[in-house]
Each structure stands twice: as structure tokens, then as C-alpha cells.
Chains A and B, each alone.
Chain A
Amino acid sequence: MEPKAIFEAVKAKFGDAVVELQEEGFRPAFLVVSPESVREVSLFLRDDPAMKFDSLMCLSGVDYKDRFAVVYHLYSLTIGHQIGVKAYLPREAPSLPSVDGVWPAANFQEREAYDLYGIVFEGSWDLRRILLPEDWEGHPLRKDYKYPEFYHGIKV
């Protein structure tokens, strides 16, 4: 299905939760949705027979300087089309529902986004830091991250 058609179908079902379609310069195209609706949209995209996006290729956090975003790249093994879903988040207390009930593959990648950006995924069955030590302070991939001077008394 073409991105425009997917956009129309999702907008028809979810209305205002679907904000816009980013197509020019974006490969694959992105459906921008509101953070609260991410879970429902994902379920629809996974289960609808015309969509059948059964594979979450990649889940990333992004720090656009004025806001965060969580980006999902979806792929359908049965139909063979790709789409992206993006949800913009405010910089203070970014959080949105977790999709690890929809695609279990999301779990580690959500933990990584939490670890490196501080984005909280509500309802995740296991949200802990994954790459950095449990007691690390700060979220390194943020654009305004200050490198710490000391860690456990050792000069870093």
C-alpha cells in the first residue's frame, strides 16, 4: 500500500490522533501520531488485514532540539510494505505507552531509548537501563548532555 493510502486509512479510524504524513525527504514515509494513541494505532497497524505490519524493524528515540520523538519503523512480511510512525514528545517528562505488548521485539529497544534519552514507556513489563550501569546519572544521547566529572569517585 502506498503511504498516502495507509495515512488515509489510519486517519479514518483514529481521526485527530493522526497529525500528519511526512513524505518528502523521508524514506519510508512517517505517520505522525499523538503519543497517547501510539498503542492503539500500533494494534491497528499490526492486525488490520490490509496493513498486517507484523514486524517492528526498528524503534529509536530522537532528540530534535525542541522536542523528543520516538520513531517506529514497521514492515509487513506478508504484504511487503514499509511505513514509519513517529510520535513527538515534549522535552520535560517525555512518556508514552509501550508497544511491547504489540511487538515483543520492542522491549530491548524501548529500554535503550529510556536509557539513552530518558523517555519513559508506560506499561512496559521491564523498563530498566540496558547499556549503561544501573546507577548512571543522565541520558547520554540527549543533545544537551553534560559529561559527568566523576563516577563512583573515579575521574571520568
Chain B
Amino acid sequence: MKAHAEALPTQEMLINMGPQHPSTHGVLRVILRTDGEVVVNARPDMGYLHRALEKIGERVTYAQFMPFTDRLDYLASMNCNAAWAWTVEKLAGIEVPERAEYIRVIVCELNRISSHLIAFGSFTADMGAFTPFLYAIRERERVNDLFEDICGNRLTYNYVRIGGVSADLPDRFLEKTKEFLDYFEPKIPEYNNLISYNKIFVHRLANVAAISGGEAVAYGLTGPNLRGSGVSFDLRRNEPYSVYPKLDFDVCVGTGERGTVGDCFDRYMVRINEMRESVKILRQAIAQTPDGPVMAKVPRVFKPPAGEVYFRAENPRGETGIYLISDGTVNPYRLKIRAPSFVTMNIFEKVTKGLMIADIVAVIGSFDIILPEIDR
């Protein structure tokens, strides 16, 4: 077939999977060169959402930067907030009260569930099954209600503060969270029955864009993408921070159950299983949350000591790293955000060679990228 194709003169098509596209998860432009339906080269073109957050960070104070971290990965706002807070606290050596740490972990894990729900929903919607997206949104509405209780916002929370959290939990919050967990846990096997093991779905994803463990590490994949390739590495287990050492959970790893290890299906299943693990973590955290203050004593005019620190947190999309250089003044000197989706896109061009156009959509969805993080 290939030899025959080489004998005929064919022309490659240059298609723009433009910034506005239903399945590029944001304003991502992919420049496709295709030979009919088969992709010869797919180059991502980013920067449509560049808001110069790092430059802004050099002009605002540490506390003022918190709302900007919300907009880094707006589906995992709490996680980004907390990552910034932990970074600054590591730099300045602030000791956070234990209740605040537990609250942070609770909201981070709730946000992980809601982020993975969106990843699951939009991924299946891209594959053509429109219904699971609405079920995921329905579940996510309940998480949004919990967050609205806590901080008043449904999307960009700005709840975590440097030194703790901005306000204590409202009445009955822990009971309501527990009710949500009881409601949500049986939904995961329901989703698996509905779509995860559907023959058409599996056929679309199995053996597509398989990434080996070594490749994944070399290309900087982190989080569910790395674990989907069979590498059992989770920052919450290997480099624990906050109160994660006191919580017990399993690390979900891709096993190649329907194809090769590290294909799109594995990455998808890792996210589904991670939701289950988050439920486990949440139950323990709810049981273990102590009483006490929720904010440490942080001076109003906050001047951390000069120095450089690098902190990384396990966000739903991977490892969010913040490299912070302080020169002793109220503003950060240099603030570099290592966004997981940005580094994940490194492997995009390599892994999409020889795939079909429909598979490009599957790959983008399985990487679970989000553009504000890529573009900052």
C-alpha cells in the first residue's frame, strides 16, 4: 500500500486545527500536515493566552499574587493556590497550623476530583459520546456547591493564603463533604460500565500514542501522564509535603490493560482510578482534621529572607513547580512557574507522527492539557 502511494504523486495538506476548535481544550493551534487522513507532522503553536503572569509577579507582593495563581489552571485553582502558598512558606520558613494544612489537603483533593471529572467528561465528548460529559458536570456541580460554601466562588477560589487559609470551614462542611463522597463513590463503577470499557471507546484509544516509561521521564511528563506510562511516581508519595505522610492511598499506574502500556487508554484509566483514591484520601483527611487556628502569624508587610527555592506540588495535571527568587523586598525577584501541561506538550510532535486526524484529538484529550497553564 505504501509503495503504491509513493508511486502516485500526492500532495500534503496543510490544515490549521485553529485556536478556535471544539476539542483543543483551549486556544491551542495545531498546524497539521497530513497526507490524506494520516498526519505527517503536527506542530503545536501556543501563546494565545499569554498574560505575562511571571512579569506581573515581579511587580506585586507575595499575597497579591495569590489570585493570579487561580488563573494558572482554573480547573485546579485550589491546587495552584496551595502550591504558591507552600512555596512562599518554604522560602520564609513559616509554620502552618495543622488544621490549615488538613483543610488545604481536603480542598486540593476535592479540586482534583472535579478536575478529573472535567478531563473525563470532555475526553469522552471529544470521542463522540456526549452523555458522560453531562454526568460529570452534574457531579462537579456538587463540588462547586461545597466550594461556594467555603469561599463564595465556583471557579477561581483564592481561598488559600500564605500561612494558612483565609477562613475556617463553614458549619457542617465536613458532613456535607462526606455526603458528597458517599454519593460520588458508586458513580465511578457506573462510568466504567457506561463508557470506559465500551468496545468502540477502547478501540479508539488502545495502542494510540503509546509512550514508554523511559521516554515519559526524559520528556518531562508528570502526574497521570507519567503514571499512565507505567512509572509509579507520585509526589504525594515519593516527595511528600503538607500532611500527605499521614494519609494512606495507592498510586494508580497504567498497566496496558487494553493495549500497550502508556497508550491513551492507560492515561484515561489512571485518571478514573485517581478519583477513587482521592475519595479515600478525603475520607481519612475528614476524620483526622484537628481543631485549631487556620492562619499562622504572617506580618502585614511580608518580606521573606533573600534566597532561592523550588517547590513542586502534585496537581491534577502533573507536577506544578514554582521557582522563586527573593531579594528580601516585598515583591518576588523572579517567579518561574513550571506548568505541567507546558512540558507535556514537548512530546506532542513526536508522538503524533503517523496517527490519523481523529487520533490527534484523542492524544490532546488524554494529555489533559489546559491552555492558561501552558501560556501563563
Contact = CB atoms under 8 A, between A and B. Distances in A.
Q: Are A and B interaction partners?
A: yes
Interface of A: 25-28, 30, 54-58, 60, 62-63, 71, 73, 77, 80, 82, 84, 103-105, 107-109, 112, 116, 129-133, 140-141
A10 to B, nearest CB: 19
Contacts of A73: 310, 321, 323
A25 B334 contact: no
B305 A25 contact: yes
30 contacts: A26-B308, A27-B90, A27-B308, A27-B309, A28-B310, A54-B218, A55-B217, A57-B312, A57-B321, A58-B310, A58-B321, A62-B325, A62-B336, A73-B321, A80-B239, A103-B218, A104-B220, A105-B218, A105-B220, A108-B343, A108-B345, A109-B338, A109-B342, A112-B342, A130-B47, A131-B50, A131-B376, A132-B50, A140-B52, A141-B54
A54 B342 CA distance: 19
Contacts of B338: 57-58, 60, 109
Nearest to A26: B308
A52 to B, nearest CB: 11
Main secondary structure, interface of B, reads mixed
Interface residues of B, number: 37
Given A60-B336, A77-B217, A116-B54, 5 more contacts: A25-B306, A104-B346, A108-B343, A112-B342, A132-B50
B314 interface: no
Interface string B213-247: 00001111000000000010100001100000000
A27 B376 CA distance: 24
Nearest to B233: A77
B342 A132 contact: no
A55 B310 contact: no
Given A62-B334, A105-B219, A105-B220, A57 B310 contact: yes
A17 to B, nearest CB: 22
Interface in B303-325: 305-310, 312, 319, 321, 323, 325
Interface of A is mostly: mixed
A63 B218 contact: no
Nearest to B47: A131
Contacts of A107: 346
Contact of B343 (A25, A27, A109, A129): A109
A132 B238 contact: no
Interface in B97-140: none
A49 to B, nearest CB: 16
Contacts of A55: 217-218, 220
Interface string B21-62: 000000000000000000000000011001010110000000
Given A57-B319, A77-B231, A103 B220 contact: yes
10 pairs of A and B residues whose beta carbons are closest in the complex: A105-B220, A25-B307, A60-B336, A131-B47, A58-B338, A131-B50, A104-B219, A27-B309, A26-B308, A58-B321
Nearest to B345: A108
A105 B90 CA distance: 26
Contacts of A27: 90, 307-310
Interface string B66-86: 000000000000000000000
B347 interface: yes
